[in-house]
Structure 1
Amino acid sequence: MRPFTELRSRTVVLRERNIDTDQIIPARFLTTTERQGLGQHAFQDWRQREDGSPDPDFPFNRPENAGASILVAGRNFGCGSSREHAPWALVDLGLRAVVSAQIADIFRSNALKNGLLPVVLDEAVVDELLEHPGIELHIDVARRLVTLPGGSQVEFPLDAFARTCLLEGVDQLGYLLRQAPAIQRYEAMHHEGHAHAR
Structure 2
Amino acid sequence: MGFASRVREVTRSDHAAAQAMTYFDALLSGSLDRAGYAALTAQLFFVYETLEEAATEMRADPIAGPFVADELARLPALVADLTHLIGPDWPAHVAASTATSEYRARLREVAFTWPAGFVAHHYTRYLGDLSGGQIMRRALLREYGLDGPGTRFYEFPGIEPRAFKQHYRHLLDTAPWDAVEQDRFLDEVSLAYRLNTAMLDDLGKVVA
Kindly indicate which of the two structures has a greater share of residues assigned to helix. Answer: 2
Q: Provide the TM-score with structure 2 as the length reference.
A: 0.21
Kindly indicate which of the two structures has a greater share of residues assigned to strand. Answer: 1
Q: Relative contact order, CA 8 A, sep 6+: which one is greater?
A: 2
Q: Provide the TM-score with structure 1 as the length reference.
A: 0.22
